[in-house]
A and B are shown apart, each in its own frame.
Chain A
Amino acid sequence: MKYNKRLTEKIIEYLLFIVAFSALTCVALIVIFLFYEGLPIFEKVGFKEFFFGKYWYPTSDPPAFGIFPLFIGSVLVTILSSLIAVPIGVMTAIYLAELASPIVRKIVKPIIELLAALPSVVIGFFGMVVVAPFLQEYFDLATGLNLFNASLMLAFMSIPTICSISEDAIYGIPTELKEGSFALGATHLQTIIRVIIPASISGISVAITLGMARAIGETMVVLMVAGGAAMIPESIFDPVRPMPASIAAEMAEAPYRSDHYHALFAIGIVLFLFTSAFNLVADYISYKYKEKGSATL
């Protein structure tokens, strides 16, 4: 009996190890493939020219493989969408965790989490047929498909992530900490600003980083509503072409193993490093503030 139990445990242990290992191997192989297909472009184009070249004309003769406009497009879309999504997401989280009545919280939180399940193509479609015409008419623009529209739609996408994770962090603050603050004659608002937010800052930061990471890697929305022009924008109403949109739009027409093909994979590498950096930052932040986050003996 005892022997059987131990054997079963061993088998389960090995099974889980194999599953975990094969998942890891697959991911590793994808990364290796990405680098294998992406790196050859640097034999044709220098690093500097690739990263800081201002022109992305992959199909012209001679072609130009400067991803700077694409990179800037991604960065700007991410920053602008964060500027919209972070205040809204975090403030909603504070409201739900601290101020809303239990009934409101019970109803609203699942709805917000459900928003995260909206397929990005639906959000993109909404941006195309509702927001774009509105922007075009209201601001008198050449096109409603632009940096601002894309940022707005990406903000829609990241708000549920930011809000939901921040809310968990704020809600998880030990009651003792709040009571400690109230007992010293602090008002609820003072308690929120001076104790609750600082104590949950690690969770909130992780929420923001994950929300932003989602915006960076998002492809469908930017493909549909960013406008698709590979140029450095001069205003927030200029169309842009973020990196994921370029890959998605061009991969089908790039001849197999051509320079263009390799260049698109190289963009993939940049994107991969970019999102990895974000995840590392999120990990670092949550690690750094972890110990200070709660009251323990």
Chain B
Amino acid sequence: MKQNEIKIKIQNLNFFYGEKQALFDISMDIFKNQVTALIGPSGCGKSTFLRCLNRMNDLIPNSKVEGAVYFDGKNIYDPQVDVVSLRRKVGMVFQKPNPFPKSIFENVAYGLKVQGIKDKYLIEQKVEESLKMAALWDDVKDRLGESAMGLSGGQQQRLCIARAIAVEPEVLLMDEPASALDPIATKKIEELIFELKKNFTIVIVTHNMQQAARISDYTGFFFMGKLIEVDTTETIFTKPGKKETEDYITGRFG
């Protein structure tokens, strides 16, 4: 493995939905300014794992977490940790584009406004910057005041990415961000991810193995709630260490 700075260190993470255990003893490192892809069949726990990294699973009633997730060396499951400020540092893009029923401008400005930023000029500047970074600026610059619901699916997803990066998180979690999109929109998102890794650490869940191979530096393979293997993407796709990984990648199941 390449030597890199560890951004997030996951140690012996277990997760339960009520009685049902969804994640089993997961340990892995996520490196700074790299793209880490999580692959595996449906229901293998990869999305659940992703949602543990910004404590999104807190919202699920009766869920329980064991183990530790160190973000820059600090355990985010420590009782003193402020979840709101954690989520500002660890942004998230969801599977289904979920713009707010507000204007395009307000969508991107949302994260800044809830932080209490009132400076109009600063907000305008950030909105423009984020939309440019998300490669959406040229599409929407003349209709920032219009409802975000009028955008196409691909544009909505890029808007959600713009919204997430406007608050300048350090890590960006993406839960199958392209699964609801057509191939052209998907390509745009993938190009975007490639650009974004200069500034952010990215963890992306994907169903699509080609996508993982194209965009990621590291790949983790999940199966039945366990992390079977994690390594550089090249290693996983050329000479995987475990038989399950090889079977999945070569399409023998899943």
Contact = CB atoms under 8 A, between A and B. Distances in A.
A234 interface: no
B116 to A, nearest CB: 10
Interface stretch (B156-164, B210-218, B228-236): B156-164
A179 B94 contact: yes
A238 to B, nearest CB: 44
Interface size range on B against A: 20 to 34
A102 B98 contact: no
A185 B156 CA distance: 20
B92 interface: yes
A185 B88 contact: yes
Contacts of B147: 292
B54 interface: yes
Contacts of A186: 84, 110-111, 114
* Interface hub of A184, A291, A293, A297 (most chain B Cβ within 10 A): A184
Interface in B216-246: none
A180 B84 contact: no
Given A295-B98, A297-B97, A194 B156 contact: no
Contact of B100 (A180, A185, A187, A291): A180
Contacts of A190: 114
A181 B59 contact: no
B101 A183 contact: no
B177 interface: no
Contact of A177 (B84, B100, B180): B100
Given A180-B94, A185-B114, A199-B100, A296 B149 contact: yes
B164 A183 contact: yes
A202 to B, nearest CB: 10
A195 interface: yes
B114 A183 contact: no
B94 A176 contact: yes
B149 A183 contact: no
Contacts of B96: 176, 295, 297
B56 interface: yes
Interface in B81-117: 84-85, 87-88, 91-92, 94, 96-102, 110-111, 113-115
Contacts of A110: none
B73 interface: no
Interface string A246-279: 0000000000000000000000000000000000
B100 A195 contact: yes
Nearest to B110: A184
A179 B94 CA distance: 9
A172 interface: no
Contacts of B54: 183
21 contacts: A177-B98, A177-B101, A179-B92, A179-B98, A180-B94, A180-B99, A181-B110, A184-B88, A184-B110, A184-B167, A185-B88, A185-B114, A186-B84, A186-B111, A187-B114, A198-B102, A295-B99, A296-B149, A297-B97, A297-B156, A297-B180
Given A199-B101, A297-B156, 6 more contacts: A179-B92, A180-B99, A181-B100, A185-B115, A186-B110, A195-B100
Interface of A: 102, 174-187, 190, 194-195, 198-199, 291-297
Interface of B: 54, 56, 59, 61, 84-85, 87-88, 91-92, 94, 96-102, 110-111, 113-115, 147, 149, 153, 156, 160, 163-164, 167, 180
Q: Which 4 A-B pairs have the closest CB atoms?
A: A185-B88, A184-B111, A183-B92, A176-B98
